[in-house]
Amino acid sequence: MAQAVRQGEAAEARLKANEALFSTNRWELYRKHMCTKSDIELQCTQQQAEDYLHREFDAKVYPSEPVPAYMPRVEEELVHTRITESEITAAMAKKTAASAPGADGVTRDILRAVLDCNELKTKLCWAFNEVLEGKCPPPSEWCSVRVRMIPKGQSDPTNIDEFRPIAVGSLTCKLLHSVLANRIWKHCLDNAVIDLNIQKGFAPKVSGCVEHITTLLQAYRSVKTPEQKYKCPELHVLLVDLRAAYNSVSHEKLWQVLEHIGISDTVIQYLKTIYGSTTMAIATKEWRTFPVPVGQGVMQGDTLSPLLFNIFFQVALQAALRKQSICETKLGKYNRHYLKAYADDLTVVCPSPGAIQIAWEALIDGFRWTGMTPNANKCRIIQMRFGKLVPRTEPFQIDYSEGGTLIPCGLANGGTKFLGLNVSISQEQSSTKTKQLLMSTLVDGMAKIGNMEIPLLAKFFFYETKVLNALRWYFTIYPNIPYSVAKALQHQAAQTMKQWAGLPTMASHAAITSYKALGVEDVRRVYRSTRGLTLNLCLNSDDIQVKKAAKDAAMLDTRFNHEDRKFLRELVANHERGETTNVRNEVRQTMREEKKKEVGNRAKWLEDCIEYSMPGAEHETDTFLKAVAQVLPYKAHYQFCRIIGGWWPVRALLAQAKIIQNNICPLCRAESQTICHVLNRCQVSLTQGRFTRRHDKVLKLIASAILAADKDHHQLRVWVDLDDMRDDTMLHEAWRTHLPNARPDIMITHQNGDLTIIELTCPFEAKGPITSHDRKVAKYTKNVESIRKEWNTNPKSAYRGRTVTLHCVEVGSRGYVSNTATVLQRYVGMDGKQFRQFLVNLGRTSFLESLWILKHRDTRKVF
């Protein structure tokens, strides 16, 4: 239950972050909710991968031709100036945490640490300028690129042509290329090299895909009857797909285009050097190909490649723009449509089949010079007449170097690709259906099943005309719509997801009740966070809806492999039968198998196991928790304590979820029964000795370790404030004389007369803002200072020159052991590994006693 409450609190934090992102970059917010990763891995042979690299990236011979005259020449040259530290810092700010390191092993955190040091940042800036100006060659690690094959949608894992090669190169090199990209983008926009009304691919601060599709929505909306003013009775859209566009860029022609638009010789020479030295190798889990030189193409994944491709592709766009006055669609005095490009995805909008033919012939001229090849089998033509999509009877004839090829009609062949998104088209669709189709393409084509906010919002828009218009306004007409309005529309859409959220699939009735009380949005988040349990309990259900929800959860569940799921299923089943011994053995066996894995991943995995195996709030859990707690490794113990300590259903959390009305502690009847109150602040528990019981058990563990270490040496006199260990003969005489009423937890007298005081503290043990640790430090610091003053100022004192040391060791009630406990290592005589286990035992002892306090939180008499 508390897990659900924490999910709600985290949701509020995400809401504030989304609100800030909403006002600055709406497309980033949109993409954040829609884009997920595919788990399809390449399964071809190493030889097939090497053949693919040679086929795609070996240099091909093209006829030597100047840049076509229709490509405008830029007279103003981008003068090269030395890179500054501020440019590097600005480029580094855009690097995400997911940036993978290259061959040099330099991670994003290392780069940030370098830039945080002024001296290192200055040296890095100097090195960038030396490499860029050709005074020294690029490091070999910059030129060694590992290629990760990413599937194009639902690809055949054995067909490498259905994968996209993404270059994983050096982050240091990418940082330099980001600086160059920022400079070149500014030059291209200032000199109209790239027109953002046409080419919106990877443009900075431009929501290109959204803007293009909403513009086309308006075009389709304008295709009505001929009698309406400024309406077009017929509309034809050519969807162009290129075959391996990024891999088809000729380097020699790319250098020509860069020189043509005014890029300095220094930058061009650097690009020639880096591309001439770069080798690529495809790496999978089983094999790695031999490095292959990059003879042509730009490397997808490099920060400079999208801009280089846009500049090169501009030649083909300029070829088609020569026919704009003939082929453009005029929908009013100022509203005109012709070319819409997002990187290599190109859409041509024309008013007639003849205009489409003219535009296509112009494009062919540009494709011939660039060396790019249209994929005729994937090109489509969509025709709309009088508000309906109608089939074409005649295909287009393409006169290309490979011979005559036909572009089929989109309606006759079903689906196509629309600005990078898959579109499914049926015949005789109305104008409203067309708008729904295109917006569905934008949303559902990119969204995955796990990110429910955007798909559900879109589906709600599709079936409600007024809300459909609101979505169009959201992106076009009213760009300043308040966030509260958009959130209200999303909330209405979220009401339709109750059935999908899988409320009947929760493990316990108590959990269902609490989740319902938290509202629909939190139900969705809780369901997604507990999908592992839903998967294991519901796949064999007789309820069809439950089965479907479980299958959906299985599609989402990428954190667990098959063995993890099997273990979770057995863990839950054994716990329901009460076989805690089997649970303990299973956990121990799993820990042995996982011993070589990273500690952080293991802690996260244990967190999920424990979280998913939690019974309802009415079940006894202490036996199971103790069984698991005994086998947790170092560091994973603290993760375990955090999960269990925050999960326990105390009255404050139950009242917050509206399951009960009264949140007052039944023992003291003075404060709300929170976790902190039950474990540290309840005055009745303090009076009855519940906190003392936990304190004494931890103190006894520390004292026993100190006495065991001194057993053979007899160099220390140890006094412990415990009934079964208290020996007043061990109490220091000076302390007994000057502070007869103050009794620390442990007092150690050394052979030379030095005195050490150890006081065990716990955070939030006292009521109020001052913690127990701070209060006891202040109290015993005053006592120690009085002893020191007596010894050092009294010339007759027998202890003159001796030292008094105070150590306040903080052990939290939830099992956290502060770094103040490290001082104990000098007294317990343990090496590093033994001492770490000793600290874990301290936290474990405190945590298990806190479980006992939590179990009897409503019981007035326990002794």
The stretch 647-654 carries a mean pLDDT of 66
Quick one: average pLDDT of 252-274?
92
- Model pLDDT, residue 231: 55
Mean pLDDT across 739-744: 72
Average pLDDT score over residue span 524-546? 42
To the nearest 10 degrees (0 to 180), the angle between helices 531-538 and 599-612 is 50
Residues 138-174: pLDDT tens digits?
A: 888 888 888 888 887 666 788 888 888 888 888 888 8
d(CA 734, CA 798): 9
The whole-number pLDDT of residue 239 equals: 80
Region 86-93: mean pLDDT is: 87
Checking if the pLDDT of 740 tops 60, the result is yes
**What domains lie within the chain, and their CATH numbers?**
46-407 (no CATH), 687-855 (3.40.91)
Decide which of 472 and 118 is more confident: 118
Strands (E), 781-858: 804-810
* pLDDT number for residue 618: 30
> What is the H or E stretch that residue 381 is in?
strand 380-385
3 or 238, which is more confident?
Answer: 238
Whole-number pLDDT of residue 177: 92
- Interstrand relation of 396-400 and 403-407 (parallel, antiparallel or unpaired): antiparallel
Sign of the torsion formed by the C-alpha atoms of 786, 791, 793 and 798: positive
Secondary structure (H, E, C), 600-633: HHHHHHHHHHHHHCCCCCCCCCHHHHHHHHCCCC
Q: What is residue 263's predicted lDDT score, i.e. its pLDDT?
A: 92
Name every residue whose Cβ is closer than 8 Å to that of residue 573 and which is 6 or more positions away in sequence: none
Mean pLDDT of 274-296: 88
What is the structure's pLDDT at 780?
A: 75
Q: What is the mean pLDDT of the segment spanning 799-805? A: 77
580-593 and 622-629 are packed helices; what angle lies between their axes, rounded to 10 degrees? 30
Q: State pLDDT tens for residues 746-772.
A: 888 888 778 888 888 875 444 433 455
d(CA 62, CA 254): 12
CA angle 114, 117, 119 (to 5 degrees): 100
Other CB atoms closer than 10 Å to residue 134's CB: what's the count?
12
Q: What is the mean pLDDT of the chain?
A: 67
Cα separation of 5 and 674, whole Å? Answer: 13
Task: Provide the percentage of residues in the chain whose pLDDT is more than 70.
Answer: 55
- CA 313, 152, 527, 580 torsion: positive or negative? negative
pLDDT at 823 over 60: yes
Poorest-pLDDT segment among 232-241, 729-738, 768-777, 849-858: 768-777
Residue position matching structure tokens 């293009």: 212
Residues of the chain above pLDDT 90, percent: 5
Please write the tens of the pLDDT for every residue from 569-608.
454 455 445 444 444 455 445 545 544 443 344 344 334 4
For residues 216 and 347, is the Cβ–Cβ distance under 8 A? yes
Mean pLDDT for 673-680 is: 82
Evaluate whether 451 touches 36 at the Cβ level (below 8 Å): yes
* 624 phi/psi in degrees, rounded to 5: -65, -45
Q: pLDDT grade, residue 312 (50/70/90)? A: very high
Q: How far is CA 145 from CA 95, 104, 617, in A?
A: 19, 10, 53
Q: Residues 89, 94, 100, 106: what is their CA dihedral angle, to the nearest 10 degrees? A: 0
Q: Is the pLDDT of residue 615 over 50?
A: no
Confidence bin at 313 (pLDDT 50/70/90): very high
pLDDT of res. 528: 38
* Predicted pLDDT of residue 211: 64
- Weakest mean pLDDT among 26-40, 195-209, 485-499: 485-499
**pLDDT value at position 781?**
78
* Residue 67 per-residue DSSP state: P
Query: pTM, whole model, 2 decimals?
Result: 0.50
Taking phi first (over 0 means left), then psi (-120 to 50 degrees means alpha), and beta for anything else, what does residue 803 get?
Answer: beta
Q: What is the pLDDT of residue 596?
A: 42
815: left (phi over 0), alpha (psi -120 to 50) or beta: left
Mean pLDDT within 7-25: 61
Q: CA-CA distance, 294 to 143, in Å (whole number)?
A: 10
Among 25-34, 430-439, 798-807, 849-858, the minimum mean pLDDT is found in 430-439
Alpha carbon distances (Å) from 84 to 89, 317, 659 = 9, 34, 60
Mean pLDDT calculated for residue range 203-210? 69
In this model, does residue 116 exceed pLDDT 60?
Answer: yes
Kindly list the distances between the CA atom of residue 72 and the CA atoms of 47, 143, 256, 358, 643, in Å, as whole numbers in the listed order: 44, 33, 13, 21, 63
Residue 787 has pLDDT above 50, yes or no: yes
The more confident residue out of 854 and 422 is: 854
pLDDT for 148: 86
Task: Give CA–CA dist 381/681, Å, rounded.
Answer: 73
With a cut of 80, say whether residue 712 has pLDDT above it: no
Q: Which residues contact 72 (CB under 8 A, 6 or more apart)?
A: 192, 193, 318
With a cut of 80, say whether residue 252 has pLDDT above it.
yes
Is the confidence at residue 308, as pLDDT, over 90? yes
Name the residue with higher pLDDT: 607 or 836: 836
Whether the per-residue pLDDT at 38 is higher than 70: the answer is no
Mean pLDDT over residues 63-82, rounded? 86
- Say which DSSP state 297 is in: S
Query: At 497, is the pLDDT very low, low, confident or very high (cuts 50, 70, 90)?
Result: very low
